[in-house]
Structure 1
Amino acid sequence: MQILSRAASERISIGSEITLCVIAVNGTSVRLGVEAPRDISVHRDEIYKRIRDRNTGRLASGELAKD
């Protein structure tokens, strides 16, 4: 993991297509803006895990149903 320090309005580039911008820092809360192509999904971690678990569950029950 790379740890970077940025102040409000500063940016971080990930490759040539993704940019993170620090919108605001309020105590322990940080607001980020994400610029990415539409074909790249951007989710908070807890939402991503929920989507992944739901999709994995569907695959598992589909595979069990075939047996």
Structure 2
Amino acid sequence: MKKIYSVLNKKNVNMIKKLARAQKHRGEQLINHSFSIKLSTDIKQKHINLGLSKEIKLNTKIKSDNKL
């Protein structure tokens, strides 16, 4: 659980805690579903940011090679 909390911001964690208390009698399916959606969006955003920084580095290397 600690790993999941570190990825999510505090507001989302509090919302999920409230959801967990409210839906306890209905089982864990709904809670797990909300965790997986939030985690996947956070992970996708990190991949996009990494991809952009790699592209920028590659472009600057190509430009510097052309000047030589």
TM bin (shorter chain): 0.3 to 0.5
Counting strand residues as a fraction of each chain, which structure ranks higher? 1
Task: Report the TM-score, using the length of structure 1 for normalisation.
Answer: 0.46
Q: Which structure has the highest helix share of the two?
A: 2
Report which of the two structures shows the higher radius of gyration computed on alpha carbons. 2
TM-score, structure 2 normalization: 0.46
